[in-house]
Amino acid sequence: MTVSLCGRKVFVRTFGCQMNENDSEHIAGVLLRAGAVRTDRPESADVVIVNTCAVRRKSEEKLYSYLGRLSRLKRKRPFVLGVAGCVAQVRKADLLTKLPFVDVVVGPDGYPDLPELVVRAAEAPEVRTELGPVWREIGAEATARENPWSAFVPVMEGCDNYCAYCIVPFSRGREKFRPLANILAEVRAAAAAGALEIQLLGQNVNAYRDPGSGLGFAGLLDAVAAVPGPAWIRFITSHPKSFGDDIVRAMAASPKVCRALHLPLQSGSTPVLGRMNRGYTCEGYLGLVARLKESVPGTLLTTDIIVGFPGETEDDFQRTCDVLREVRYAGIFSFRYSPRPLTAAADIPDDIPLEVKRRRLVELQALQKTIQVEANRAFVGRDLRVLATGPSPKGAGRFSGRTEGNLVVNFDAPTDPTGRFLTVRITGSGPYSLHGTAV
Ligand code: SAH
Ligand code: SF4
Ligand code: F3S
């Protein structure tokens, strides 16, 4: 059925990871193609879609307080309110019981049907949360990109790893791979539209296998690097378990593949990793890091850490701190463990007291901060290539950008360089960014 949303104003708000940011570009794209127009304020919208994240308890709590605000707005001025993404997929129709002011609940595989769902929901609430067995192709033509110079390109979705703490296999379903030809077509289209950077996306990108030819992630990287145009290729997120030496070689072989890798560790204690069902040991992880540093020199690593997983002893926690000292990550994302519904760990007692989790997180972040202060200082005096991403929150004449290693740089420039490469002379550094002047 083709439906028209002619002239209806849509507002899309995104919580969560890059996969969700890209899905929001699909959501907006599908609605705009049906005739809707964008608005940047929920106050003036006819349709509001909230794309949600379920990964930690806090992510879900943030969502409910935001939805509370929307319900007050809706009392003043009616609109169709849709909840999309991972919370929608996991909570399903229960969301309508809990939040009667919601009109549409739609999981990731339902986005192509959004125009129809929105129109029908104006009459009665709609729930669409079946997960299909194969890749749902939305296509480049229905992607309303946030900006033309950096393009997200999804390559796989879902996850079969079932880490004990993680809700993603339930919110995104089983692993599904996008056909290579469609990925390359989207990369070419993004290149033609001026993309300087391609970010390949998936919950577990390095598990990639082309459904037709069986070509793996290393082959995919080679194929994407062969598309003329984009200067930088990134990919997120990689799992240490399936990060083969062929991928290390593919990184080393192409200067277009950024010397940056997000490689979630979660814990530096092998027994904790075992209970988390991560599929590698601490030694195995460190071996991979050593091979990477040798074959692709200068690679900046980032990671994810969970503190306070059930049974984590002080000694386990210190092992994690040891890994931070050894690897010297350029950045970390660190979280206190929170039990999530449907996961294996939800059945074991969450036995680390909140105070202990808090203290471990503070200690870990303080350690990492000293590492970053030192590491970032080493860039002072150097000229770095930067992709400018927009004005800096710091004020007039200042802009922000990212380096190949994904470090944030704030800099002065005479004219707005947003969406272009430039060289910045680094004059100073802090724990979380570098600063300098365009040369
Ligand atoms: N696919 C990626 C990331 C998934 S979610 C991966 O495999 O690493 C992003 C991060 O959230 C995870 O790496 C983990 O550090 C954190 N996380 C996931 N579930 C969590 C939970 N129940 N409690 C705390 N942190 C969690
Ligand atoms: Fe979650 Fe583990 Fe899959 Fe990452 S690899 S999405 S942490 S289950
Ligand atoms: Fe969150 Fe879903 Fe991403 S749970 S981290 S938005 S895959």
CATH number of the domain within which 16 lies: 3.40.50.12160
Residue 68, domain member (yes or no): yes
What pLDDT digit, counting tens, does each position of 299-324 carry?
999 999 999 999 999 999 999 999 99
Considering 213, 235, 258, which residue would you say is the last residue of a domain? 258
Q: Are residues 427 and 398 in the same domain?
A: yes
166 lines ligand 2 (CB under 6 A): yes
Residue 134, domain member (yes or no): no
* Backbone torsion region of residue 345, taken as left when φ is above 0, otherwise alpha when ψ lies between -120 and 50, otherwise beta: alpha
What pLDDT digit, counting tens, does each position of 245-286 carry?
999 999 999 999 999 999 999 999 999 999 999 999 999 999
Residue to mutate (ligand 3; options 12, 52, 55; most atoms within 8 A of CB): 55
**Where does the pLDDT of residue 121 fall: very low under 50, low under 70, confident under 90, or very high at 90 and above?**
very high
Q: Are residues 343 and 419 in the same domain?
A: no
Residue 388, domain member (yes or no): yes
Residue 231, domain member (yes or no): yes
Question: Where is 119: in which H helix or E strand?
Answer: helix 114-121
What pLDDT digit, counting tens, does each position of 152-163 carry?
999 999 999 999
The closest of 414, 405, 415, 398 to 384, measured between CA atoms, is: 405
pLDDT of the residue at 2 = 75
Residue 330, domain member (yes or no): yes
Closest ligand relative to 159 C-alpha: 2
**Where does the pLDDT of residue 132 fall: very low under 50, low under 70, confident under 90, or very high at 90 and above?**
confident
pLDDT of the residue at 133 = 87
Q: Atom 3 of ligand 3 has which residue's CA nearest to it? A: 17
Q: Are residues 30 and 118 in the same domain?
A: yes
Q: Are residues 268 and 175 in the same domain?
A: no
Beta strands in 98-231 (DSSP E): 104-106, 126-128, 150-154, 156-157, 176-177, 197-201
Considering 258, 275, 293, which residue would you say is the last residue of a domain? 258
pLDDT of the residue at 100 = 95
17 lines ligand 3 (CB under 6 A): yes
Residue 269, domain member (yes or no): yes
pLDDT at 114 over 90: yes
pLDDT at 137 over 90: no
Distance CA 406, CA 247 (A): 19
161 lines ligand 2 (CB under 6 A): yes
**Where does the pLDDT of residue 172 fall: very low under 50, low under 70, confident under 90, or very high at 90 and above?**
very high
**Where does the pLDDT of residue 427 fall: very low under 50, low under 70, confident under 90, or very high at 90 and above?**
very high
CATH code for the domain in which residue 370 is found: 3.30.750.200
Contacts (Cβ under 8 Å, ≥6 apart) of 143: 22, 25, 26, 29, 186
Q: Are residues 254 and 264 in the same domain?
A: no
Weakest mean pLDDT among 105-109, 117-121, 132-136, 329-333: 132-136
Q: Which domain holds residue 417?
A: 383-438
Q: Are residues 183 and 246 in the same domain?
A: yes
Residue 135, domain member (yes or no): no
Q: Are residues 215 and 265 in the same domain?
A: no
pLDDT of the residue at 393 = 81
Mean pLDDT over all residues of the chain? 96
Q: Are residues 202 and 303 in the same domain?
A: no
What pLDDT digit, counting tens, does each position of 359-412 carry?
999 999 999 999 999 999 999 999 999 999 999 987 777 999 999 999 999 999
In the predicted model, what is the mean pLDDT of residues 50-59? Answer: 97
Query: Does the global pTM surpass 0.85?
Result: yes
The residues facing 425 across adjacent strands are: 383, 437
pLDDT of the residue at 238 = 98
Considering 81, 101, 128, which residue would you say is the last residue of a domain? 128
In the predicted model, what is the mean pLDDT of residues 187-214? Answer: 97
Spacing, Cα 277 to ligand 2 middle (Å): 10
The closest of 256, 258, 212, 269 to 236, measured between CA atoms, is: 258
Closest ligand relative to 236 C-alpha: 1
Structural domains of the chain, count: 4
CATH code for the domain in which residue 195 is found: 3.30.750.210
Residue 3, domain member (yes or no): no
Q: Are residues 54 and 88 in the same domain?
A: yes
Spacing, Cα 79 to ligand 1 middle (Å): 34
Q: Atom 4 of ligand 2 has which residue's CA nearest to it? A: 203
Q: Are residues 37 and 93 in the same domain?
A: yes
pLDDT of the residue at 395 = 74
CATH code for the domain in which residue 417 is found: 2.40.50.140
pLDDT of the residue at 341 = 97
Residue to mutate (ligand 3; options 12, 15, 19; most atoms within 8 A of CB): 19
Q: Are residues 275 and 190 in the same domain?
A: no
Q: Are residues 343 and 273 in the same domain?
A: yes
**Where does the pLDDT of residue 1 fall: very low under 50, low under 70, confident under 90, or very high at 90 and above?**
low
What pLDDT digit, counting tens, does each position of 21-47 carry?
999 999 999 999 999 999 999 999 999
